[in-house]
Amino acid sequence: PLLIRWLGKPATAQQAALKVPFIDDFSDPAHQQGLTQAGHMLLLFVAALAWLALVGATARPMWYGDPVELPVKGRDIMLAVDLSGSMQQEDFVLDNQRVDRLTATKVVAGEFIKQRTGDRVGLILFGTQAYLQTPLTFDRQTVVTLLYEALINIAGEKTAIGDAIGLAIKRLRDKAGDSILILLTDGENTAGQISPLKAAQLAAQENLKIYTIGIGPDKRSGNSFFGMLRGTRSGIDEKTLALIAKETGGRYFHASNTQELDEVYKLIDSMEPIESDARTYRPRQALFFWPLGGGLILSGLVLLSLLTGRGRS
């Protein structure tokens, strides 16, 4: 409008569309509408603001929020952790301090869970019985928290490896994506209603891959009452754990210390990579209705002022 006003040719008498004998009556439109000169300029200013607001609404302004991480396509991973009495053996070292096997497992497995962006992770704890501590979820921090809160012997002093696998099959059945079970134990199957090998056969039928981890040194050494070293053989049933992994297309690992356990989880992480990189998006919200509403309100005020002034005249 300003360019047209400035660049357009002014109308001449010959170009006038209407000629009236009382042209002097229209010489002061603002006066005829009951408006002062200041009021007329104010209306022009408000009308200009209304026009700018409508132009701004036409530009469709948007508000963009902070980037939000999107879940990516991943795997369904269930961790089964042994809580039997033997897991309290303090033959692992963490930060130069001797800790029990479960404490070392919590730290290493917790870091593994945190890195599995895009995966749904669940947690099974087992001893004499197996129970589901956390169903499959994208909330990895909650899984880590519940893992840290696990206590030795809370599920009984014995070891039900077969039941833990059976529970994993039940929870992972008919789930979309690749399904993986990472089973960690320091002993052999001494309880439960189903044998580990039978459970492995059922897992193979359900396309459930199982990675088994035997934790504990081959020989455990420690200080006796008199300061002498004594040793005992580890009770890991490595043969059965290896057969379970082989039956389901997985792999068996043995970890005799914290460093080896950390390497095992890193190796599994590399063998089962996340299928796509993490993606983010920025939520956006349309803001055009604010200038549009403001422009309509200002236009209404201008129209109301003109009608009111004309009515008074």
Q: What is the mean pLDDT of the chain?
A: 81
CA distance 189 to 238: 11
pTM, 2 dp: 0.62
Query: Burial of 40 by CB count in 10 Å (0-12 exposed, 13-18 middle, 19+ buried)?
Result: middle
CA distance 7 to 67: 47
pLDDT in tens, 143-193: 999 999 999 888 888 899 999 999 999 988 866 457 899 999 988 888 888
Residue 231 pLDDT > 80, yes or no? no
Q: What is the mean pLDDT of residues 214-224?
A: 62
Residue 118: the pLDDT is 77
CA distance 182 to 194: 18
Q: What is the mean pLDDT of residues 196-209?
A: 92
C-beta of residue 185 within 8 angstroms of C-beta of residue 160: no
Residue 228: the pLDDT is 36
Beta bridge partners of 126: 82, 130
Residue 229: the pLDDT is 36
- How many other CB atoms are there within 10 angstroms of residue 123's CB atom? 23
Residue 125 pLDDT > 90, yes or no? yes
Residue 48: the pLDDT is 87
Pairing of strands 76-82, 120-126: parallel
Q: At what angle do helices 238-248 and 196-205 cross, to 10 degrees?
A: 10
pLDDT in tens, 263-278: 999 999 888 876 655 5
pLDDT in tens, 37-49: 777 788 888 888 9
Residue 201 pLDDT > 80, yes or no? yes
CA distance 65 to 245: 46
Residue 306: the pLDDT is 78
pLDDT in tens, 65-111: 888 766 556 788 999 999 988 898 888 888 888 999 999 999 999 99
Q: Which residue has the higher pLDDT, 231 or 95?
A: 95
Model confidence at 313, pLDDT cuts 50, 70, 90, reads: low
Residue 223 pLDDT > 60, yes or no? no
Beta bridge partners of 212: 183, 252
pLDDT in tens, 21-35: 544 544 555 444 456
